[in-house]
Amino acid sequence: MHFLSIYDDQLSMMSQPIIDLSYPLDNATPPFPGNPPVEIVVQATIPADHPAGVPGAMNISRLHTGPHVGTHLDAPFHFFREGATIDQIPLSDTMESHSC
């Protein structure tokens, strides 16, 4: 399971291809020691007899985990009282441009 952010609009505006180095997140993803494990539970599924494209039914999952699991970015605030929080870091600051 990959989680895309509200910043996907920024990604679509970039002219270079993007290589996603993140690993999928699932119930087998090991947490950082001392953090809760990943728990993804299906809460509801669209019934097989529900007409395709018709609203009214949903697939719903519940995700429970700590923030330090799988591929993630620790904000400076994690280590420094006055550090930037993750929402203060532009997505572009997390990317590098390379030529192959």
The residues binding Zn ion (CB under 5 A) are 68, 74
Residue 72 among the catalytic residues: no
| Cβ-based nearer residue to Zn ion, 24 or 51 | 24
Token pair in block for residue 47 = 């019934």
CB of 65 to Zn ion, least distance (A): 12
- Give the three-state DSSP class for 41: strand
Neighbouring C-beta atoms of residue 70, cutoff 10 Å: 19
| Cβ-based nearer residue to Zn ion, 65 or 68 | 68
CB of 34 to Zn ion, least distance (A): 11
Report the length, in residues, of the chain.
100
CA distance 75 to 35: 17
φ and ψ of 44, to 5 deg: -155, 150
| Cβ-based nearer residue to Zn ion, 35 or 45 | 35
Which residue's beta carbon is nearest to the bound Zn ion? 68
Active-site pick, 2, 68, 78, 98: 78
Do residues 73 and 21 make contact, with C-beta atoms less than 8 angstroms apart? Answer: no
CB of 20 to Zn ion, least distance (A): 19
Give catalytic residues, as residue numbers: 78
